[in-house]
């Protein structure tokens, strides 16, 4: 039974060797001459203005989460749209309406969430 997994083990080992060997060879053979200029922080050619660990505004995260939600919405809508023709061609009327109404319920929930985010100011950027 375990001999069936041997080719997978060999593949993983070869992948690790091909992935790690160039890094290891570069680390071993590459020049290592650190100085203060190389080790200093760099920000677009200027010295950093302030600490890099500043807090971001919460609205930045809200916009990012809103984008992800509506991106996932499309990921669910494309398969539905791809098989919608099959729903229409079905002889049973209940199946036709179920396929149509389920997308309206899905879109309704998303629209309510979008309106809620809009009213709460998640989409306003000042």
Q: What is the pLDDT of residues 86-116, one digit of tens each?
A: 877 777 888 778 888 888 898 898 888 888 8
What is the C-alpha to C-alpha distance for residues 78 and 51, in angstroms, rounded to an integer? 44
The sign one gets for the Cα dihedral 55, 59, 63, 66 is: positive
What is the C-alpha to C-alpha distance for residues 39 and 24, in angstroms, rounded to an integer? 21
Which of residues 15 and 52 earns the better pLDDT score?
15
The sign one gets for the Cα dihedral 36, 42, 47, 51 is: negative
pLDDT in tens, 32-83: 888 877 777 766 666 666 666 777 677 777 778 878 877 888 888 888 888 8
What is the C-alpha to C-alpha distance for residues 105 and 111, in angstroms, rounded to an integer? 10
> Residue 9, SS3?
helix
* Predicted local confidence at residue 24, as pLDDT: 95
Whole-number percent of the chain with pLDDT over 90? 21
């Amino acid at each position: 039974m375990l001999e069936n997994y041997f080719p997978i083990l060999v593949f993983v080992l070869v992948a690790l060797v091909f992935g790690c060997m160039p890094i290891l060879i570069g680390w071993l053979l590459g020049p290592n001459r650190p100085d203060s200029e190389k080790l200093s922080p760099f920000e677009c050619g200027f010295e950093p203005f302030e600490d890099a660990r500043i807090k971001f505004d919460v609205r930045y995260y809200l916009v990012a989460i809103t984008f992800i939600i509506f991106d996932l919405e499309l990921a669910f809508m494309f398969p539905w749209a791809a098989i919608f023709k099959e729903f229409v061609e079905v002889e049973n009327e209940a199946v036709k309406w179920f396929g149509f109404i389920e997308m309206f319920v899905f879109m309704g929930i998303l629209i309510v969430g979008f309106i809620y985010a809009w009213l709460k100011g998640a989409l306003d950027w000042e």
